[in-house]
């Protein structure tokens, strides 16, 4: 009797699980397949080919995949190397608090290429991958101008506070906030355009909006001050660096593949205006799959003509962790991080740089998205990255991010799910 199990059956999406197949013949060639449907009904799947050991078992944590979506020993390979059936789709959990992703795991005899819909598995099981732990509360935020969702760990607190920002597609993305709250942080997933009654397009960065959000979070009775953290990716990283520069409440900043200059949108704060470097959209290149490689539209920030557009990071009084994917096809993130570090106070910044990692460095469990369609662009965007180094970068950087936030914001009580 062939059996496939996943342990634990229900887990947080950033935590490892163990997959085991038992009851096979010694040296039997089998295919392990993982698949799920996202909330839009899009299918993401992976498969890997294995030979059973002498006991008739397969354990992807011990046994090398011979081929398929990956090869070699990757305990979480079936999760990390999921790919969309439809090009340019990105796996993003939208209903973070209400339901998990349900991942089906199936075992087939021999090589299953997925071309025969009548093919029946020898065994199957289901894993639940959650983006919030037990007892995490999601509170919609619509106060003053601030729009977003607050994730609170269970218990009386107070908890260290973090603001979580995404990038140029706008809207509200909550999955990272849910995972951070499951680690014991009170996290405000903050929208700043293209959501609710916020502006539909981003014309300028109004830093007073982000200051209002910081003050709102610090006023919450379950949030421990006096300082807070900010995590931002892409345009959100640019915002995060500006917050670290001008807002004394921000003491720990995680900057993931962003810029250190204003591009496309000026920054306004009280009487201050930092002009933006324009995007040179005519320099966009189309990749072999028809996506837009935007790296050339960001002109060289070292040009003396752009000096006034630099975020004045020499004013930063907190700590900044720069996380860089060296295969980022959106822009030269490593250059922006190095230019910022050169001007920041000594010991205030640290760089984690990952060869082969792309633009969208996310918590582990999010498969590499190297191209995807996003709101407001005429074609899909190329993000870059190679699956295996990108997966390693996500696993390593996530632990570094959690340790960094805990070091500078104070201890947390993480969940065991």
Its pTM stands at 0.97
Are 111 and 392 within 8 A, CB to CB?
Answer: no
Residue 29, pLDDT > 90, answer yes
Q: In what order do the strands lie in the sheet with 371-372?
A: 285-286, 292-293, 381-382, 371-372
Segment holding 405, helix H or strand E = helix 387-409
- Residues involved in catalysis: 234, 328, 359
Average pLDDT, the chain: 96
pLDDT confidence of 64, banded at 50, 70, 90? very high
Structure tokens given for 357: 């990692």
Structure tokens given for 375: 């709101």
pLDDT over 70 percentage in the chain: 99
Residues 6+ apart with CB under 8 A from 179: 12, 13, 14, 131, 132, 363
Residues 6+ apart with CB under 8 A from 223: 157, 158, 159, 160, 161, 186, 217
Number of Cα atoms under 13 Å in the Cβ half of residue 33 = 22
pLDDT tens digit string along 121-159? 999 999 999 999 999 999 999 999 999 999 999 999 999
Greater confidence (365 vs 305) lies with 305
Picking from 87, 177, 173, the residue whose alpha carbon sits closest to that of residue 370 is 87
pLDDT confidence of 236, banded at 50, 70, 90? very high
Are 66 and 52 within 8 A, CB to CB?
Answer: no
pLDDT for residue 417: 52
Residues 6+ apart with CB under 8 A from 323: 254, 255, 256, 257, 352, 354, 361, 397, 400, 401
Helix axes 207-219, 235-246, angle to 10 degrees: 70
pLDDT for residue 365: 85
Q: Is 289 exposed, middle or buried (0-12, 13-18, 19+ CB in 10 A)?
A: exposed
Residue-wise burial string across 3-38, b where 16 or more C-beta atoms lie within 10 A, e elsewhere: ebebeeeebbbbbebebebbbbeeebebbbbbbbeb
pLDDT tens digit string along 285-306? 999 999 999 999 999 999 999 9
pLDDT confidence of 104, banded at 50, 70, 90? very high
| Other residues' Cβ atoms within 10 Å of the Cβ of residue 355 | 12
Are 29 and 83 within 8 A, CB to CB?
Answer: no
Residue 415, pLDDT > 80, answer no
Residue-wise burial string across 77-104, b where 16 or more C-beta atoms lie within 10 A, e elsewhere: bbbbbbbbeeebbbbbbeebbeebbebe
Q: Which domains does the chain have, with CATH numbers?
A: 3-130 (2.60.40.2240), 137-409 (3.40.50.1820)
**Mean pLDDT calculated for residue range 74-99:** 96
């Amino acid at each position: 009797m062939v059996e496939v199990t996943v342990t634990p059956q229900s887990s947080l999406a950033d935590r490892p699980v163990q997959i085991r197949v038992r009851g096979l013949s010694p040296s039997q060639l089998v295919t392990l397949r993982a698949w799920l449907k996202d909330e839009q009904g899009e299918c993401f799947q992976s498969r890997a080919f294995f030979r059973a050991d002498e006991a008739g078992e397969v354990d992807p944590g011990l046994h090398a995949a011979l081929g398929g979506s990956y090869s070699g020993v990757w305990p979480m390979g079936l999760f990390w190397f999921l790919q969309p059936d439809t090009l340019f789709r990105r796996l993003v959990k939208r209903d973070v608090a209400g339901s998990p992703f349900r991942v089906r795991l199936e075992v087939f005899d021999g090589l299953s290429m997925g071309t025969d819909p009548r093919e029946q598995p020898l065994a199957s099981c289901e894993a639940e991958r959650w983006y919030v732990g037990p007892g995490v509360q999601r509170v919609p935020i619509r106060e003053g101008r601030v729009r977003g969702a607050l994730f609170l760990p269970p218990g009386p607190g107070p908890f260290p506070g973090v603001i979580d920002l995404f990038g140029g597609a706008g809207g509200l993305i909550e999955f990272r906030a849910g995972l951070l709250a499951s680690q014991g942080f009170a996290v405000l997933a903050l929208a700043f355009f293209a959501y609710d009654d916020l502006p539909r397009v981003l014309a300028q960065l109004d830093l007073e909006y982000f200051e209002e959000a910081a003050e709102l979070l610090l006023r919450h009775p379950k949030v421990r001050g006096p300082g807070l953290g900010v995590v931002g990716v892409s345009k959100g990283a640019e915002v995060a660096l500006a917050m670290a520069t001008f807002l004394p409440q921000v003491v720990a900043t995680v900057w993931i593949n962003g810029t250190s200059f204003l591009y496309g949108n000026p920054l306004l704060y009280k009487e201050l205006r930092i002009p933006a470097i324009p995007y040179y959209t005519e320099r966009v290149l189309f990749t072999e799959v028809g996506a837009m490689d935007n790296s050339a539209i960001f002109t060289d920030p070292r040009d003396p003509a752009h000096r006034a557009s630099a975020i004045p990071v020499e004013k930063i009084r907190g700590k900044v962790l720069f996380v860089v994917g060296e295969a980022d096809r959106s822009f030269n993130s490593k250059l922006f991080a190095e230019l910022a570090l050169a001007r920041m106070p000594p010991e205030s910044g640290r760089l984690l740089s990952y060869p082969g990692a792309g633009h969208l460095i996310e918590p582990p469990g999010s498969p590499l998205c190297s191209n995807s369609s996003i709101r407001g662009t005429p074609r899909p965007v190329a993000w870059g990255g190679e699956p295996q180094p990108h997966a390693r970068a996500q696993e390593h950087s996530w632990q570094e991010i959690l340790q960094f936030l805990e070091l500078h914001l104070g201890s947390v009580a993480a969940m065991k799910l």
